[in-house]
Amino acid sequence: MANKRDLKKDINYVFGDIIEAVYYWELENTQKPTKESDAIIDDAFAGFDELIARVNERDIENPKAHFKAINNDLESKGRALIDRINNLK
């Protein structure tokens, strides 16, 4: 991991791309949000807020392990949201 700033950028890009993908899906399919697509967007915002709060924590014992865990959580949350986008009908 390079630094905290790069991790914040990665979090922003991942969740931003997921939200953008939901908006594209809405434009291509129904022209209006559905309950499922709204739930994905809400979960993306919640995941973003959670991970940014964890990045900004001050009192951590092992910074390397802490940031690696955040990076792993970002990947798992991102994949889960992408799978939900792919399953939209």
8, 12, 13, 17 alpha-carbon torsion, rounded to 10°: 160
Domain extent at residue 34: 4-86
Query: Mean pLDDT, to the nearest integer, of 51-58?
Result: 94
Greatest extent of the chain over all pairs of C-alpha atoms, in Å: 48
Band of pLDDT at residue 77, cut at 50, 70 and 90: very high
Note the pLDDT of residue 3.
85
Distance CA 41, CA 63 (A): 30
The alpha carbon dihedral of 58, 61, 62, 67 has a sign of: negative
pLDDT digits (tens, 9 = 90+) for 8-36: 999 999 999 999 999 999 888 876 778 89
Number of domains comprising the chain: 1
